[in-house]
């Protein structure tokens, strides 16, 4: 499992398409432990680019604060599961909560 998250200042970014970095965390599904963390600078923002780019990076899950409906649809078309409405926490904390089934996904913080 490879989980991607948009970050700003080391925590989850509220607006998916305008983040500073992406954290990509590889997770062993049997042990539920992070085996690798990679930080990547995304390409310049263009509509529809990030779903394709993250698919190319091997992401199969996205945790986001907010994401537009069109982007969510594009991720789904690329076989990537999306969770929106997560709080501005560190990637490690969010993955820990996600794997434990306790990730609090609230309102989508993006309105387009």
The 3 state secondary structure assigned to the chain is: CEEEEEEECCEECCCHHHCCEEEEEEEECCCCEEEEEEEECCCCCCCCHHHHHHHHCCCCEEECCCCCHHHHHHHHHCCCEEECCCCCCCHHHHHHHHHHCCCCCCCCCCCC
Structural domains in the chain, sorted by start: 2-100 (3.30.420.130)
pLDDT of residue 108: 66
pLDDT in tens, 54-99: 999 999 999 999 888 888 899 999 899 999 999 999 999 999 999 9
């Amino acid at each position: 499992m490879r989980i991607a998250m948009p970050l700003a200042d080391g925590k989850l970014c509220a607006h998916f398409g305008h983040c500073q970095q992406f954290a990509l965390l590889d997770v062993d599904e049997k042990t539920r432990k992070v085996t690798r963390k990679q930080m990547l600078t995304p390409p310049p923002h263009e509509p529809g680019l990030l779903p394709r780019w993250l698919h190319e990076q091997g992401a199969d899950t996205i945790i986001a604060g907010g994401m537009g409906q069109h982007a969510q649809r594009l991720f789904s078309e690329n076989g990537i599961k999306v969770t929106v409405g997560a709080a501005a926490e560190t990637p490690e904390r969010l993955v820990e909560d996600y794997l434990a089934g306790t990730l609090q996904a609230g309102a989508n913080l993006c309105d387009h």
